[in-house]
Structure 1
Amino acid sequence: MLFLYLLVLLIDTASQHRSAEEGVEGGSVVISCSHRRIAFEEKQLTVYWRHNDTRNVHDIIHGKVSVKEQHPAYKNRTEVLPDELKKGRILLKLTDLQLSDRGTYICFVPDVGVHPSTQLVVKERPVIEQRAAQVRSHGTETSLGRTLQLLLLPGFILLFI
Structure 2
Amino acid sequence: MKRTTFTFLLAMMWPSLQALFTVEPEQDSYDGELHKNIRIACRFSPVESVTQLSVFWQRIDPLPTVDVYRLEKGLENHNFTDKSFQKRARLLKDELEKYRAVLELSQLQMSDSGTYQCVVSLKEVDYKKTTLTVRAPYTAIKKDIKRLDNEKVELSCESQGFPLAHMVWSDGRLQDLTVRSNSSSEKTSEGIYKVTSQVTVSENIINNYTCSISLEGKVRQSVTFNIPGEIPGKSKWCHAYAAIGVIVVMCMGFVAASVIVHRRKKGQKNRDSICKSSERNLTVTSTDSLLPKTPFFRADTFAFSSEVCKGKAENLREVLEQKYAELSTMAGFTLQHSLLCGYDPFISAGQKWWGGGWWGVGGQ
TM-score, scaled to structure 1: 0.66
Residue number in structure 2 paired with 1:98: 109
Aligned positions of 1:1-161 closer than 5 A:
1=6, 16=24, 19-35=28-44, 37=45, 39=47, 41-52=49-60, 54-111=65-122, 112-128=124-140, 141-142=241-242
What is the CA–CA distance in structure 2 between the aligned matches of 1:124 and 1:40, rounded to whole Å?
42
Q: How many residues align?
A: 135
- How far the C-alpha of 1:113 sits from its partner, in A, is 2.4
- How far the C-alpha of 1:90 sits from its partner, in A, is 1.5
Structure 2 unmatched runs, 5+: 1-5, 144-229, 244-364
Q: What's the C-alpha RMSD, in Å, of the aligned pairs?
A: 3.6
- Cα deviation, 1:57-98, whole Å, max 9, x if unaligned, reads 001100122111100010100111133234432211001111
Decide which structure has greater strand share: 1
SS in structure 2 at match of 1:76:
coil
**Which of the two has higher C-alpha Rg?**
2
Of 24-33 and 106-115, the range deviating more from structure 2 = 106-115
- How far the C-alpha of 1:128 sits from its partner, in A, is 3.7
Q: 1:129 to 1:62 in 2, by over 3 A?
A: same
What is the CA–CA distance in structure 2 between the aligned matches of 1:96 and 1:139, rounded to whole Å?
45
Kept in 2, the 8 Å contact 1:45–1:62? The answer is yes
Kept in 2, the 8 Å contact 1:34–1:116? The answer is no
TM-score, scaled to structure 2: 0.32
Kept in 1, the 8 Å contact 2:28–2:130? The answer is yes
What is the CA–CA distance in structure 2 between the aligned matches of 1:16 and 1:86, rounded to whole Å?
16
The one-letter code sitting in structure 2 at the alignment partner of 1:113 is V
What is the CA–CA distance in structure 2 between the aligned matches of 1:139 and 1:27, rounded to whole Å?
43
What is the CA–CA distance in structure 1 between the aligned matches of 2:239 and 2:84, rounded to whole Å?
58
Kept in 1, the 8 Å contact 2:24–2:42? The answer is no
Q: 1:77 to 1:125 in 2, by over 3 A?
A: farther
SS in structure 2 at match of 1:85:
helix
What is the CA–CA distance in structure 1 between the aligned matches of 2:73 and 2:39, rounded to whole Å?
22
- How far the C-alpha of 1:22 sits from its partner, in A, is 0.9
What is the CA–CA distance in structure 2 between the aligned matches of 1:25 and 1:118, rounded to whole Å?
19
What is the CA–CA distance in structure 1 between the aligned matches of 2:111 and 2:91, rounded to whole Å?
21
Q: 1:48 to 1:38 in 2, by over 3 A?
A: farther
- How far the C-alpha of 1:25 sits from its partner, in A, is 0.8
What is the CA–CA distance in structure 2 between the aligned matches of 1:25 and 1:139, rounded to whole Å?
41
Q: 1:100 to 1:139 in 2, by over 3 A?
A: closer
What is the CA–CA distance in structure 1 between the aligned matches of 2:111 and 2:56, rounded to whole Å?
20
Structure 1 unmatched runs, 5+: 144-161
Identity percentage over the alignment?
Answer: 26
| Deviation >6 Å, runs of 4+ | none
- Of structures 1 and 2, the one with the larger relative CO (CA 8 A, separation 6+) is 1
What is the CA–CA distance in structure 2 between the aligned matches of 1:31 and 1:80, rounded to whole Å?
10
- Cα deviation, 1:101-128, whole Å, max 9, x if unaligned, reads 1111101113332112211011024324
